[in-house]
Amino acid sequence: MRVGRVRGTAALAAACGALAGMAQPAVAAELERCGGDRPRSCLRMTVPLDRSGAVPGTVRLRVDRHRATRKATRPPLFLLAGGPGQSAITAWSTSAVDATLGRATRRTRDVIVIDQRGTGRSGLLDCPAVQRGSFDAIGACAAKLGPARDFFTSADMADDIDAVRAALGAERIALVGVSYGTHLALTYAGRHPTRVERLLLDSPVPPAGVDLFARPSMRAAPRVVASTCGRRRCRSFTRDAAADLRALAARLEDGPMRGLVTRPDGRRRPAAIDGAGLLEMIAGGDVSGLFADYIPGAVRRARQGDPALLLRTARLLRRSAGETDDARTMSLASYLATLCGESGLPWTAATAPGERLAAASLLAEGLGADAFAPFGPKTALGYAPLRACARWPYPSRPAAAPAPPPDVPALVLVGARDSRTPVADARAVAALLPRAELRVVRNAGHSVLGAGAFECPMRAAGRFLAGRPAGGCAAIAPVTLGVWKPPPSRVGDLPTFGLRPRVGRTLAAVDATATDFVSVFLPEMMAALEQAFAGEEPSRFSPRFGALRGGSYVAATSGVRFERASVVQGVRVSGALRGATPKRMRLRVRIGGRAGLRGRLTFSRRGVSGEVDGRRVRIRRTIPSLALMAESERAATPPDPLAVLREALDADPRPPAPSLAPPPNPFR
């Protein structure tokens, strides 16, 4: 946090100690240049911490101005990030601005991006232990921030926006918000209605703010999971994915499911998942259709009593969301200051901190089980934001009541698969706006503009911001490789492929193992790809992955090794994949384990040869997973595993889509 002359990267103790003894400093009324000119210039502006003057201090805002590529004939456009706590300047890079807004908008509007107070380069709030996800450190973080913590609300940020508007000399502005940014946009519109030209709200949060019981997400979860199975994509393993989710949610209300997850070194460690963890997993899947494809099969197997795939999928989704150690990208102290400072808390100021969850439990029980269906009150009480706010001090000033929005053009976008800000919330927001156009976009989850790169959401946004009707946008192309069919748990459940039972099941066990490798390899590559898009080194990429039930897969320059990899209970597969093209690919494996299957087999595009139970076999067809292996192994064979991806990025002149959705659950 920066107060007066204290830098945001300094220790919070120093920042807040300085705050307590400072006199009210002078506040700069103008924007100051801090570098750059065209196409982007950096500006600074100092605003009061507390506009009433009761609490001394200032916040130094960082503002980026992307000048219109021609003449700015329309009001400037302010881009607001999510979170709360996300750095808008990081999320809305120059390439993201150009990709999202399109040429027509960029020609006629200056684009303004502000790191909201407490985030990024604007008085960053940074409590390192909280940033690492420690619940125990929340109280100490709040104590170090002191009285300043109550001045990071949406109302404070909205007034900052208006101060920047006034300094720019703009009569009116347009606002684009994503996720929490929509709440901030609506707050600004309510507080400064005559200054708004139009609103574009993507994945909107209702004006009343976040429900700390997560009831909208709970209600949406069955529909969101079932939407992955459209056009009977899950028919090979379930008839009703929504029913599976409802049954599993009810089961988890009785207590967590426990099992083992495999580390990259092949060893297994205990893990558990409860209803709140399942809700978090669904929220993680709504950012990417690729990861959503894992969830129906994992839920189905868990409903049948086998949680291994569910536990592993939850781990993959957390990893794919990335870490939040860098407060400059996503400040969890700012997240808590805003969320806990203005949400409807299920306790009062008089409730002792140690009694808050008990008070929340009484309220939840009074609402009845139907209020949380298909989950229950225990899941609500396990929701991480609620538990985090229980450790944060009760705000010293009441949150500003939402004011009616002005009668201006508005475009509301929501993904049909969005569980964090579901369709019902978007409809409620659109109903409040007299001239709203609502677009529910199939195949999109949270952050439609981020998911719909170069597709109709961006075209609709461009038309709307140019002053024309947004037009239709019913769907985007799904980002999917197909729903992942869960592997059988036991040898007796393996298919026989029409062969002698032991021969067919041996082949099926290898097929399940090869498919499992691809399913864990892809998330690692996706995480590395995101870093490559951001111009970072691929620190997340690891060449070693744990198999579902023990053992490892190792991606090397020469191919892929299976090291006692177990996917089906009691079956272990060891061997190697060689060859960079389908024609040259050979998968040679040894099958063993306590389930009794034994064999040595070689798989190629021509068929299978080797022995099972000591008897020779030769089959003129191969396993379905070999084609998947070919595509995955192709990316792993260069000395640098990301070389293929970098070549693709260098060859593609289009800028990447913006990264607008913060991790679904900052606290693990």
The token duo for 164 is 């920047």
- Give the model's pLDDT for residue 658: 42
Global pTM reads: 0.86
Distance, CA of 227 to CA of 296 (rounded, Å):
10
634 pLDDT exceeds 50?
no
| Sheet bearing 40-48, strands edge to edge | 32-36, 40-48, 58-66, 111-115, 77-80, 173-178, 196-202, 409-415, 435-441
Q: How many Å is the maximal CA-CA distance in the chain?
A: 88
25 pLDDT exceeds 90?
no
Average pLDDT score over residue span 67-96:
89
DSSP structure class, residue 375: S
Q: Which of 26-30, 415-419, 436-440 shows the lowest mean pLDDT across its residues?
A: 26-30
Exposed/middle/buried for residue 265 (C-beta within 10 Å: 0-12, 13-18, 19+): exposed
Residues 613-625 have pLDDT tens digits of 999 999 988 777 7
Average pLDDT score over residue span 92-106:
77
11 pLDDT exceeds 50?
no
Bigger pLDDT: 123 or 288?
123
- Residue 355: which pLDDT band, with cuts at 50, 70 and 90? very high
Distance, CA of 92 to CA of 269 (rounded, Å):
39
- Residue 17: which pLDDT band, with cuts at 50, 70 and 90? very low
- Structural domains of the chain, ranges and CATH numbers in brackets: 30-120+146-212+400-465 (3.40.50.1820), 491-637 (no CATH)
- Give the model's pLDDT for residue 255: 96
Question: With DSSP H G I counted as helix, E B as strand and the rest as coil, what are the percentages for the chain, rounded to 5?
Answer: 40, 20, 40
Type of residue numbered 122 = S
- Give the model's pLDDT for residue 36: 56
- Give the model's pLDDT for residue 530: 60
CB atoms closer than 10 angstroms to residue 667: 19
344 pLDDT exceeds 50?
yes
Averaged confidence pLDDT in the chain: 84
- Give the model's pLDDT for residue 274: 97
Residues 40-57 have pLDDT tens digits of 788 999 999 999 999 999
665 pLDDT exceeds 60?
no
- Residue 644: which pLDDT band, with cuts at 50, 70 and 90? very low
631 pLDDT exceeds 80?
no
The token duo for 200 is 């574009």
Residues 649-664 have pLDDT tens digits of 333 333 334 444 444 5
Distance, CA of 318 to CA of 321 (rounded, Å):
5
Q: Which of 243-257, 344-358, 571-585 shows the lowest mean pLDDT across its residues?
A: 571-585
Type of residue numbered 115 = D
- Give the model's pLDDT for residue 635: 40
Residues 468-509 have pLDDT tens digits of 899 888 888 776 767 889 999 999 999 998 899 999 999 999
Residues 545-565 have pLDDT tens digits of 899 999 999 987 778 899 999
Average pLDDT score over residue span 257-269:
95
- Give the model's pLDDT for residue 528: 64
Distance, CA of 338 to CA of 142 (rounded, Å):
12
Type of residue numbered 238 = T
The token duo for 11 is 């220790």
Q: Which of 67-71, 121-125, 448-452 shows the lowest mean pLDDT across its residues?
A: 448-452
- Give the model's pLDDT for residue 5: 27
% residues pLDDT > 70 (the chain): 83
245 pLDDT exceeds 90?
yes
- Give the model's pLDDT for residue 532: 58
Cβ-contact 127, 149 below 8 angstroms:
no
Distance, CA of 159 to CA of 165 (rounded, Å):
10
421 pLDDT exceeds 70?
yes
- Residue 449: which pLDDT band, with cuts at 50, 70 and 90? confident
- Give the model's pLDDT for residue 578: 87
Chain centroid to Cα 209, Å, comes to 19
